[in-house]
Amino acid sequence: MPPRKLLDDCFLHDRDRLRHDEALSILRERMRPVTAPEPVSLASALGRICAEAVAAPRPVPGADNSAVDGYAFAHSDYEATGGFFPISTRIAAGHPADSPLPVGSAARIFTGAVMPPRADTIAMQEDCEPHEQDGRGFVAIPPGLKPGANRRRAGEDLRAGDVLVEAGTILRPQEIGAIASTGAGAVSCFAPLKVAILSTGDEILEAGAAFREGAVYDSNRPLLSALLSTLPVAVSDLGVLPDKAGIVRTALTDAAAGHDVILTTGGASRGEEDHVIATLSDLGHRHMWQLAIKPGRPMAMGQIGDCVVLGLPGNPVAAFVCFVLYVRQALLALGGATWREPRRVVLEADFEIADKKPDRREFLRGLMIDDPAGSPNGGSGGAPGGVRRVAKYPRDGSGLITSLREADGLIEIPEDVTAVRRGDRVRFLPFGEAGLPPR
């Protein structure tokens, strides 16, 4: 059974138009996991959301072992032997010694092999000189090695009981490797959210359909489907709905019965043919509508029963921006992930804005400019040899799909800023923070 039900007022607020931070605050405070945990094999766990903390059942490593190929010995024997040791045994990884190391002797040892009792130090083989006398092997170990050299201690990485992955973590290869190091073959993860996507509008054509005058091809659903592929969700594509109130009502009713989230594009404004908002208000609750941002002002949030409804603008740039800023985080939180706001970097503006409207946060498509004296693959945020400046895409229209393809991220201009001068420091949200690959 799902662990909870949505509150009936999960998006409720008392403002006609929400600021960006206010919208995020509502999402952060009200979104909670809506799916149940299930066991997932490590081979299938990449990108899934961990439902229960994973603790080490035993120390990792489980025993003192060698970090190099070489010779193990007791440092207390170092001075007495003058660094010249008979080789009493050979220890390979996976084959621990049966008995303690004899006093005054050394063991030939290989990387990962368990240290024999009494031994506490290892000399690298390239620093040593093996010898043979009367059919017996010896090794000359150079002076200067400190006690414990080249030894990995038991529990050096993890102690028994240490938490290595917290609940709510999106599992990366790093976490999967850490879980595997404890011997676990599976991990408890939240089941994927069931997300339905649909577009609305009589003017919208499916890809592959014959073109007709006054129509546009639907880029929003393919765009959203690709964005959703970076998240642990199961997507149902419900196609394009015409601007007919009855059809929209039936589609939303059916979708709400079988999904955790409905994601719509178009039909979210105030026009007579914008039926999504009217239908949402009739069937459920429309809690959030109209944001003080550009682009994306007509975004809506509400619910039909326990199904969250997120209504995105019809313009593709606005839909993309709203997904990056709000939808992605909301879906992750509903799916069980710990809330993490995408990180920004601070760069110098290589553009100017003479007059910006106050009380509205704007998100401009930005192109990072490489430091001409450094490497284009260097750091960011003013680091030497890295990206230090950001330019604004020359046109601001929310229907310009080309701007998304050519941009590296979003330049964030706060509500109280009314002008930007060249050289001002601005916050920049790289698309990589939204799980997208670089261009």
Stretches where the chain sits below pLDDT 50 are 1-2, 12-14, 374-384
- Please, are residues 381 and 343 in contact by the beta-carbon 8 Å criterion? no
Q: What is the pLDDT of residue 9?
A: 56
- Please, are residues 268 and 298 in contact by the beta-carbon 8 Å criterion? yes
Amino acid found at 168:
G
Taking each helix axis from N to C terminus, what angle separates 245-258 and 275-283, rounded to the nearest 10 degrees?
A: 50
Q: What is the pLDDT of residue 383?
A: 45
Q: What is the pLDDT of residue 277?
A: 79
Q: What is the pLDDT of residue 386?
A: 56
Alpha-carbon span 182 to 345, nearest angstrom: 36
Beta-carbon contacts of 239 under 8 Å, excluding residues fewer than 6 positions away, are 198, 199, 206, 221
Alpha-carbon span 225 to 212, nearest angstrom: 25
Q: Among residues 218, 266, 232, 410, which one has the least CA distance to residue 325?
A: 410
Q: What is the pLDDT of residue 328?
A: 97
Tell me the two tokens of residue 400: 């310009």
Give the containing element (helix H, strand E) for 220.
helix 220-228
Q: What is the pLDDT of residue 398?
A: 63
Q: What is the pLDDT of residue 396?
A: 77
Cα 323–188–183 angle (5° rounding)?
Answer: 125
Q: What is the pLDDT of residue 377?
A: 40
- Please, are residues 73 and 85 in contact by the beta-carbon 8 Å criterion? yes
Q: What is the pLDDT of residue 3?
A: 52
Q: What is the pLDDT of residue 290?
A: 85
Three-class secondary structure of residue 261 per DSSP: strand
- Please, are residues 351 and 419 in contact by the beta-carbon 8 Å criterion? no
Alpha-carbon span 252 to 89, nearest angstrom: 74
Alpha-carbon span 201 to 216, nearest angstrom: 10
Q: What is the pLDDT of residue 243?
A: 86
Digit-coded pLDDT (tens) for 306-360: 999 999 988 899 999 999 999 999 999 999 999 999 999 999 999 999 999 999 9
